[in-house]
Amino acid sequence: MAKRKSLKLIPLGGVSGIGKNMTVVEKENQMIVIDCGLMFPDEDTPGIDFLIPDFSYVLKNSGKLKAIILTHGHEDHIGALPFLFKKIRAPIYGTKLTLGLTKIKLNGLADSDEIEYREIDPARGLSIGSFFIEFFRVNHSIPDGVGLIIKTDIGTIVHSGDFKFDHYPIDNVHTEIHKIARAGEEGVLALLCDSTNAEEEGYTLPERDVGKTLMDKFEKAEKRIIVATFSSHIHRIQQVLDVSAKMGKKVAVSGKSMLKSMKIAGELGYLKIPENIIIPISRIDDFPINEIVVLSTGTQGEPLAALNKMAMDEHRRVTIMKGDMVIISASPIPGNEKAISNTINMLIKQGADVFYESIAGVHVSGHAAREEIKMMISLANPTYFIPVHGENKHKIQNAQIARSMGIKNDNILIVQNGDIVKMNINMCRISGNIQPKNVYVDGIGMGNIEDMVLRDRKILSNNGVIFIALAIDLSRKKIIMGPDYKLKGIIYIDNINEILDEGRDIILDSVNKCFEKNILVKNRIEDYIIDKFEKYFFKNARIRPIIEVKALVK
């Protein structure tokens, strides 16, 4: 009897933090990829626009790749596709809205017309190589999301996608509990389960609760209302439009991504825009101030987003006035808390009344809390449990939930990005790690930025830089000009002039030491000065700025 091979799972992202979700599922010489998302930066990655998965393993095994399957249209699940598709091609599977949003992202590629899109009908399964995949609809903070039931001759894997159980959803599309239960009855080898809200007790509140809160706020507003939400949160946008229509208000949209999302969602039937409610942002002054609602991007304090421009008094059309009501209808993505707080403080300083999640109930999550995770585990009834989509603290909490549901501790795997998970009916274990690199996108290009570069960026942002210039005659072993300083971003120091004056002696002494040791190479002299001056400056000023030395030689 031939030996039955194992299934291989490799999370390339999504299990060592919130974002850049991407998972490889491999059987023999065939491979599918689930999602391809990005991650937003935090304060430890200054100057970075976002992070994406390391595609090296997929590129190396591109001959095996049969499909990329997208669970839904959020950036942390589709945002890295343009970078992957600069190097590779494969059919993209997704629901109608997910593909609509994906096409917007990929339209900038030179040969975007040649990309193969295949629309998923959740009511029908499909065969992709040696995988048979069924889909179940899930409630989330964007319509048309799905989870996956991946069937093979080795066993069945259930991928929950991002989910919650909303029993009264905005679009009346429910999480398809019966499909998960049927898979559980037939036998599930492993469940990959969303961990984002595993710390939260009870159940996640339904989306309609936000609509009630919005109505309450709108009724109390005396002037303009500005609502900021994610451009992909179609259900939230729908509720803003519906409440505005009931109150007889006009809605102006600010933000390119918001306009694009609303356009595609409207065209595909996922957003129902009340008649004559939308006006151009250029016409907001043509209506009474208490009839205007501005729907805006910028919930995460992004510098170039519409809400932050309003807060900075740099928006072309909207100037914040005393009494404006600003509703930030989103929760902070980890790492963005400070930027959001800064935006809120600037809005308040300009006179706005600001309402946000932690004080006003203007947002509910799209992810399952503990009781809903228990329901997912009970329905799927897996042999093995793998928490995904979260930081380590979320995965540990999810694992505890699984243990409380009777899953053996040995059957629960806490995985990290790059781990190679091998499984069959008799085992599930981590057999190694492919060591994925950190890949950053900084507006110019993408690549692995060494720790030294990020370290320098953090130092620059915190402590500034000191430029030192001098001219040296190497043949005569003599300093003929300088040293002179230029300081950028240095915090105020009482005795800075004294420190810099004494520092000139350190620099001169360093150069003379080089002459004494017959070190006459420009780069070596500059490095020697940096080493000596850096130690001297920290000892006397207690900060470590970047030190840059430019020696002109003749």
Q: Which residues are catalytic?
A: 194, 367
Q: Beta-strand (E) ranges in 329-395?
A: 353-356, 382-388
Pull the structure tokens for residue 507: 């620099």
Pull the structure tokens for residue 170: 């905005």
For residue 433, the one-letter residue type is N
DSSP states of 448-493 as a string?
A: ---HHHHHHHHHHHHH-EEEEEEEEETTTTEEEEEEEEEEESPPP-
The number of CA neighbours under 13 Å toward the Cβ of 552 is: 9
CB atoms within 10 A of CB 170: 19
Q: Beta-strand (E) ranges in 139-283?
A: 145-151, 156-159, 188-194, 225-228, 250-254, 278-279
Pull the structure tokens for residue 317: 């059309």
Do residues 271 and 238 lie in contact, with contact meaning Cβ atoms separated by under 8 Å?
A: yes
User: Rounded to whole angstroms, how far apart are CA atoms 195 and 193?
Assistant: 6
Q: Determine phi and psi for 332, rounding to 5 degrees.
A: -70, 135
Pull the structure tokens for residue 181: 């239960």
CA distances from 10 to 13, 103, 154, 166, 231 (A): 9, 26, 17, 30, 30
